[in-house]
Structure 1
Amino acid sequence: MMNAPDIASIERQARALLANGRFAEAEAQVRPLLASGSGPLALWGVLADAIRPQGRIEETRAIQDMLVTHMPGNLTARFNLAETLLLLGDFERGWREYHHRYGMPHTTMIERKVQRPRWNGRPIPGKTLLIHDEQGYGDTFQFLRMVAWAKARSQARVVLEVNADSLSIAQRCNGFDDIIARGTLPPAFDMHCELMSLPMVMGLKLTDLPGNMPYLCADPHRIEKWRTRLAGLPRPLVALVWAGRPTHVNDANRSMALADLAPLAMPGVTFLSIQKGPAAAQAATPPAGMSLVSLSDEIEDFEDTAAILSVADLLISVDSSPVHLAGALGRPAWVMLPFVPDWRWLLERTDSPWYPGMRLFRQPAHGDWQSVMAAIATHLASLRGP
């Protein structure tokens, strides 16, 4: 008599393969046990996580849908489905499922407990609505556009609470009556809404985007400072970011080394490193032939970044917060995206509904940054000086 397979052991082995980027091998390990169309839900979860990075998004959605049906209380399964739905452009259901982003093991610590009801998108004239940001800087820059929409819809007095690093830029945004830094005591309010729950409660559709652009602006005094600083450099001036925040859950997929940008080195282009974090040190040894000026140590805050983007001719960046800042400022940006990108970039298209004028350069296969560099180099050659 044959022994039953050790499901827990198989799942551990497959998860180890996934952690090392060996997606096809992980798929091959669990497929035989699911061939009948049934089988342990844990292995179906492995299969979804194995085929999604391979670009089989519709098949992933079908499996994730099944998992949510069978495990409605599993918030991680619901969040995974949400990101796939949003990636496919299914905003109606995607935003509803995205509400489950809290309650997972790694997010429960950052959930904000608010002793007031969440705004439901209906008018509340005479009331005060607290809108508070919650996640990364890029998320804040991307969704600040919706504060003015919420003000108009709610007819309420709006108090906006944002992280301290984004506060001064957000102060020049429209749609709030009062603004405070996260961590300070807000004035009395009747209802609240997380910044990234506004799409759910307001029923955001792709056709609603982008709204009034630009919706952020740089500080004129900082612009003048950086215009003077960069005045002697040959144009075009191209700001560069090649790595995101190392602690981001998907950083290995979205980031690269400055050396990988070697194909972009060409006469007539001045590159400006606005890279922050550990990767900024790579600017000391740029690729051969790349005229690179590192501004990283001179950038004190996002106000400096915004001003540099307002003076530079173009930003070339991986998927990180400066991309969203450039987009919100209405500045040109070329974004280097992994084969299966974050949900907000959707699939296949070279433009972004969120930011007019932004151009997306996607890996044609997992890990293929070389093709991305070749495509960008071709376009960059047409911008360079004589």
Structure 2
Amino acid sequence: MPDLARTWTDAMRGGDWERAWALSHRDLSKRDPATRDDPALPYHQRWVWDGRSFDGRDVLVRCYHGLGDTLQYARHLPTLAARAASLTVEAQQRLCGMLAQMECIDRLIPFDDAHPTKPFACDLEITELPFALREPPSRAPSPYLRATPADLPEGTIGLCYNAGDWDPARCVPPALLAPLCADRPVLTLVAEPSALPVLNPEGCPFDLDETAALVAGCALVITVDTMIAHLAGALGRPTWLLLKADPDWRWTPGARETAWYPTMRLYHQRYPGDWRSVIEEVADDLSARYPAIMAESTNP
């Protein structure tokens, strides 16, 4: 990792936002304007905002990263909208249903990577918003997304063990989660069939609006570091996040809380691959913190 990136990661993990923004500003000042939104690069490697003012201008926010990134940074859209003349968001098709509920967005465009929207007076990539606005997570509204809760048994717990192919080290072997399913209503939030004793053995729907309804109906979501974690946090649901020993820059190693989501609790591996002790700790906390769930599900 380059020194600048390492220093920026340390600042973000430590909640030293001013230092992180100063580093981002230094990086921006050194960029060649000709490389802005470079079509030769994959979308997730592009930079978009060139530092120009967005006050009183027609602004386009492009969502070039993952679904979780868009969900995480959507919290800053109301602040941007209050300063811009108009706000257009070009977002992943799967997220358009949820983002359409945000009244601050004037126009929502499904992102077509083959035909991206033409530039506006000011373009930003959604992950650039905290730096551009100088807005830490604590100053953004929470929760900032909403979904109508699915009709689930009282005390239902949602489990997500799969983080996809981006970083396999974030995934938990599903068999390890079996003790969490004992004597309580549990559903899987993974879009694949499950051998666990869950309410939906066929798996979670791929449709994100339906998934959001399930998350909103859960008493607790237990998830690895993936889109489901950001969805649950954005909806303000109690969320327990299972993290590898060296987590992503968003999460402070060893910390229990995170400024990104007030309703989230963090659980860390002690060493790489150590999911067993993480699940044992979660099982203990589940019994201690949610006794009503166990009582309601075990008593006839």
Distance (Å, rounded) in 2 between the aligned partners of 1:159 and 1:266: 46
Counterparts in 2 of 1:196 and 1:263: CA distance versus 1, 3 Å: same
Measured after TM superposition, the shift of residue 270 of structure 1 is: 1.4
> What is the CA-CA distance between 1:364 and the residue it aligns to?
2.4
1:256 aligns with 2:256: no
Indicate the structure with greater helix content. 1
How far apart, in 1, do the equivalents of 2:50 and 2:217 lie? 40
Aligned residue in 2 for 1:25: none
Ranked by relative contact order (alpha carbons within 8 Å, sequence separation 6 or more), the top structure is 2
> Are the aligned partners of 2:71 and 2:230 in contact in 1 as well (CA < 8 Å)?
yes
Residue 87 (structure 1) aligns with: 13
1:204 equivalent in alignment to 2:135: yes
Q: Which amino acid is 1:301 matched to?
A: D
Q: Closer, same or farther in 2 for the Cα pair 1:265/1:174, shift >3 Å?
A: same
Alignment of 1:366-377 (within 5 A): 366-377=272-283
Superposed CA RMSD in Å reads 2.8
User: How far does residue 133 in structure 1 lie from its aligned partner after superposition?
Assistant: 1.0
Deviations 1:64-84 (A, max 9, x none): 53xxxxxxxxxxxx4454334
Q: What 5-or-longer segments of structure 1 have no aligned partner?
A: 1-44, 46-63, 66-77
Cα distance, 1:145 vs. partner? Answer: 0.6
Alignment-mate amino acid for residue 197 of structure 1: E
Per the TM alignment, residue 216 of structure 1 is displaced from its structure 2 partner at its CA by 0.5
State the number of aligned residues.
279
C-alpha distance after superposition, 1:250-293 (max 9, x if no partner): x23211111122332432x11101112xxx34x12x2xxxx312
Partner of 1:213: 142
- Going from structure 1 to structure 2, the CA distance change for 1:296 and 1:307 (only over 3 Å counts) comes to farther
CA-CA distance at 1:242 after TM superposition: 0.5
Query: If you compute each CA radius of gyration, which structure gives the higher value, 1 or 2?
Result: 1
Aligned to 1:243: 162
Alpha carbons 1:318, 1:337 under 8 Å: kept? yes
2:300 equivalent to 1:385: no
Q: Whole-Å Cα distance in 1 between the matches of residues 219 and 47 of structure 2?
A: 43
For 1:150-229, what aligned pairs fall within 5 Å after superposition?
A: 150-152=80-82, 154-183=83-112, 186=117, 189-205=120-136, 208-209=137-138, 211-218=140-147, 220=148, 223=149, 226-227=150-151
- TM superposition shift of 1:296: 5.2
Change in CA separation of 1:385 and 1:355 when aligned onto 2, cut-off 3 Å: same
Q: Which runs of 5+ in 2 are unaligned?
A: 296-300
Q: Distance in 1 between matches of 2:277 and 2:210?
A: 32
What corresponds to 1:134 in structure 2?
64
Distance 1:332 1:241, change over 3 A: same
Contact 2:204 2:211 in 1 (8 A): no
The answer as to 2:269 corresponding to 1:339 is no
Instruction: Label 1:204 to 1:320 Cα distance change in 2 as closer, same or farther (>3 A).
Output: same
**Residue aligned with 1:92, SS:** helix
Q: Which residue matches 2:218? A: 312
SS at match of 2:198: strand
**C-alpha distance 123-377 of structure 1, shift in aligned 2 (>3 A):** same
Which of the numbers 174, 186, 189 marks the counterpart of 1:271? 186
**What TM-score comes out, normalization by structure 2 length?**
0.82
- The match for 2:298 is none
The residue aligned with 1:361 is: 267
- Is the alpha carbon distance of 1:236 and 1:216 closer, same or farther for their aligned partners in structure 2, counting shifts above 3 Å? same
Q: 1:159 to 1:118 in 2, by over 3 A?
A: farther
Q: Does 1:118 align with 2:50?
A: yes
Letter in 1 for 2:172: M
Runs of 4+ in 1 over 6 A off after TM superposition: 98-103
The answer to whether the 8 Å contact 2:24/2:131 transfers is no
Cα deviation, residue 298, structure 1: 5.4
Taking the aligned partners of 1:149 and 1:119, their CA distance within structure 2 comes to 17
CA contact (8 A) 1:88 1:347 kept: no
Q: Would you say the 8 A contact 1:147–1:174 is kept in 2?
A: no
Correspondence 1:288-303 to 2 at 5 A: 291-294=197-200, 297=203, 299-303=205-209
Aligned partners of 1:97, 1:155: CA distance in 2, in Å?
Answer: 22
**TM-aligned CA deviation for residue 89 of structure 1:** 3.0
Task: Return the offset for 1:195.
Answer: 0.5
